[in-house]
């Protein structure tokens, strides 16, 4: 059920790498960076613009990795950033101030928090409390913004999707090649668990799909599944040009010391509707593809690993 990403020198690597290189050189690959959310985990500072390694921001590093690959392969990789109402202004300003090129920028949607009894949640000033309802907005937001049509006009066939805080999830020719060679419209990257909890590929009614953590039955032992979802994926462009009946998940959040209800969707639940490759990728080392940074402590602990990763991936 899982496909292992071959290491350099292994059988299949050369073919996959060559297919990915050719796709980049033909201008058929684009990158979407998820940079929305509510900017709450770093003291209200938008994470994309936060210094990550040696004074360089997450977004600066993410885009520089892509530009280096473009230059190395003499190709062009359009980049689109999905922001939220809480991150959009800061990200646009950061892109302009640091000369990060001209990426497409589009917004995910906005919703209203609720009280646990279903009434409208209001903040201490009496105003409705807004939130961004998850990256499941990707499909509709990409299309409504016009960015999907622009990517199609430029001849894009494959789109990579990853979180701005995962610097390991760079555009990688071998990963692109595996997606193309296996021929399924969706590839979801998974990695071996190291005590991680969250989404994972499981069979539901006989079909293998990615199930988000809150949807697992409480009695289900998640340790039975050896891998988990890294929230990095590749889509055929046509697969992004569809609406999916994604599950709205009930989530309770702390909002100013009070419980608030949010309903959220996640994009990788498109795996319930699309033939999907589950590509097992390394999470550690210089070839690692999963270095998530969710808190300031995560960032501090990851500094040496991130420096090694960036030094090895410099082209």
Q: pTM, whole model, 2 decimals?
A: 0.95
Q: What is the CATH number of the domain that holds 185?
A: 3.90.550.10
Long-range contacts of 98-105 (CB under 8 A, 24+ apart): 98/57, 98/60, 100/59, 100/60, 100/63, 101/63, 101/67, 103/33, 103/63, 103/78, 103/79, 104/78, 104/79, 104/80, 104/145, 104/147, 104/150, 104/151, 105/80, 105/81
CA angle 61, 66, 69 (to 5 degrees): 125
Give yes or no for a contact between 281 and 289, defined as CB atoms under 8 angstroms apart: yes
Helices marked H in 26-146 — which ranges?
Answer: 58-73, 88-97, 138-144
Any idea what DSSP says for residue 125?
T
d(CA 175, CA 181): 10
Q: Which residues of 141-154 are buried (b: 16+ CB within 10 A; e: fewer)?
A: bbbebebbeebeee
Structural domain tally of the chain?
Answer: 1
List for the chain the helix, strand, coil content (%; round to 5): 30, 25, 40
289 contact partners, CB below 8 Å, separation of at least 6: 166, 168, 169, 170, 172, 175, 189, 191, 230, 232, 281, 282, 283
What is the span of the domain harbouring residue 162?
3-313
Dist. CA 190–CA 259, nearest whole Å: 32
What is the pLDDT tens value at each position of the chain, 315 positions in all? 899 999 999 999 999 999 999 999 999 999 999 999 987 778 778 999 999 999 999 999 999 999 999 999 999 999 999 999 999 999 999 999 999 999 999 999 999 999 999 999 999 999 999 999 999 999 999 999 999 999 999 999 999 999 999 999 999 999 999 999 999 999 999 999 987 777 899 998 989 999 988 888 888 888 889 999 999 999 999 999 999 999 999 999 999 899 999 999 999 999 999 999 999 999 988 899 999 898 899 999 999 999 999 988 765
């Amino acid at each position: 059920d899982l496909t292992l990403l071959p290491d350099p020198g292994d059988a299949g690597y050369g073919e996959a790498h060559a297919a990915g290189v050719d796709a980049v050189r033909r201008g058929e690959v684009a990158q979407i960076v998820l940079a929305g959310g509510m900017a709450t985990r770093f003291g209200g500072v938008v994470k994309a613009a936060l210094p990550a390694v040696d004074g360089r921001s997450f977004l600066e590093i993410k885009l520089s990795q892509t530009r280096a690959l473009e230059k190395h392969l003499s190709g062009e990789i359009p980049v689109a950033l999905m922001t939220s109402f809480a991150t959009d202004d800061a990200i646009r300003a950061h892109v302009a101030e640091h000369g990060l090129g001209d990426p497409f920028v589009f917004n995910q949607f906005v919703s209203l928090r609720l009280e646990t009894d279903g009434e409208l949640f209001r903040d201490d000033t009496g105003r409705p409390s807004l939130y961004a309802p998850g990256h499941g907005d990707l499909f509709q937001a990409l299309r409504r913004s016009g960015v999907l049509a622009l990517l199609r006009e430029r001849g894009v066939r494959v789109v990579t999707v990853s979180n701005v805080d995962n610097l390991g999830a760079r555009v990688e020719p071998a990963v692109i090649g595996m997606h193309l060679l296996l021929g399924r419209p969706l590839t979801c990257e998974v990695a071996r668990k190291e005590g991680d909890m969250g989404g994972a590929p499981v069979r539901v009614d006989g079909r293998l799909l990615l199930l988000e953590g809150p949807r697992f039955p409480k009695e289900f032992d998640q340790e039975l599944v050896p891998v988990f979802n890294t929230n990095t994926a590749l889509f055929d462009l046509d697969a992004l040009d569809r609406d999916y009946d994604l599950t709205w998940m009930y989530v309770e959040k702390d909002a100013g010391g009070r419980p608030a209800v949010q309903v959220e969707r996640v994009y990788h639940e498109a795996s319930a509707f699309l033939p999907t490759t589950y590509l097992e990728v390394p999470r550690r080392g210089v070839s690692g593809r999963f270095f998530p940074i969710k808190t300031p402590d995560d960032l501090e602990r990851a500094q040496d690993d991130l420096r090694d990763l960036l030094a090895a991936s410099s082209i």
